[in-house]
Structure 1
Amino acid sequence: MIPEEISVLIVDDEPEARDLLRMLLADVPHVRIAGEAEDADQAFRLVEGTDPDLIFLDIQMPGKNGFELVGELRAHGYRTGYIFVTAYDEYAIQAVRASAFDYLLKPVDPDELKRVINRYRQISRDKRMEEITDELLAHLGKGSRLKLNTRKGFILIDPGEIVCCLADGNYTEIILANGRKETVSSNLGKIVKELTGNGYFRISRSAIINLQYLVYVDHKDGSCKLEGDSVIDLKVARSRLAELDRIFG
């Protein structure tokens, strides 16, 4: 029996990533590329016009991220399937694993691409796309904000907005992507338990960084740069430099 044709949409803000995926998909039988988009808003308009079966969706993009696009499409009743594409985002990967959707790590491997498409064919027969999408969004919602105590009460913070956490005695200073700083009543050891494994990495005894904001590592002087609304320079322990190399290949 010949499989039904799958129409797909490629959504990624990096032209090189779209080019590679388009080239690899050309070698997969019974797959038709319905369009390409560089951001969530453009993707939404394309979905309205093409109603694809499956979207290859980058998670981290300027403006709205991939999960926000999923929420918007679900709210408008689209029954699209998703395969998420990410360079490194452990928090996002954990969320996808908790649903029936799949993900690909960049750079995309041709054999993995064929595997996830075959798996999509199977789950699309076994379950309704609305149910699978709701599973994903529900899991994201469970851990979307952290509750952290302060001297006067508590704050709720989106983990994705945290650029880094710096030890300050029995307290921890948290620097957010918008430049805001918060001091919480937990030492860095407790914060590590909350964040490690969610895309965060401990670079020294006194600092944890969000790998999404890492833009530069200097082996010579043992430092790194993080970039949110401002640039932050931090020292990296020598023993942690090799681990950073391993993470980013």
Structure 2
Amino acid sequence: MNRTIKVLVVDDERYAREEMIFLLEQQPFIQVVGEADSGESAIMKAIQLQPDVLFLDVEMPKMNGMEAAKALMELKKVPLIVFATAYPQFAAEAFRINAIDYLLKPYDEEQVKQAVIRIQDKLLPKEQIGTVGRPGKLAVEKDGEIDYIPIQEILYMFRDEKVTKVLTKGNEYELRTSLKELESRLMPFSFFRIHKGYIVNLQHVKRLTPWFNGAYQLELDGRTEKLSVSRNYVRDLRQQLEV
């Protein structure tokens, strides 16, 4: 039986909690077991519900998120902590208390997804991560025939008007499937969105070069073109690539 990851969402703003819960419920293996609106309530519910992870706001009345996180470290079962806040200046302190990630409001769907992937890597057995929606090969119909592309041979995918193009070292294929749907199906593999319209296979990344205004250009094995990496994805991309 597949294990689920129990999550407690803590934020003193109701709409922020609702947004985070909605984004988390789109991710595989995640079960939101409760929510809290203060640091004190977070500790009580953590004792009661025994969550695996807390998505925890920093700035809250009375006991703030940092204080709550330190108190949670004293529990018999210590949960993982993901800070989710509007304040970037607390990041250094967050990682000193071993937070697994630090998300900034307004929440970005891709950043929440990457945080969940890190949590899955920590808490789930590798064989389970690959069980949901894991195709052995990608089926592509061409001239009335169906080709099956080994997932590891895919270098990148991008949206071109009404089709999604899938590129390998020697071939280019077209799919009617949306890029978002492909991203969901390939989640157990090493694919990462670098731009609104581009997803790359991290196994084939060769070089990352600074470009301008915080953006980068990315090169892949076996291809000569350079792909643009949006500055919104650069930090998470480097975290995924670097040891």
Q: Which structure is higher in helix share?
A: 1
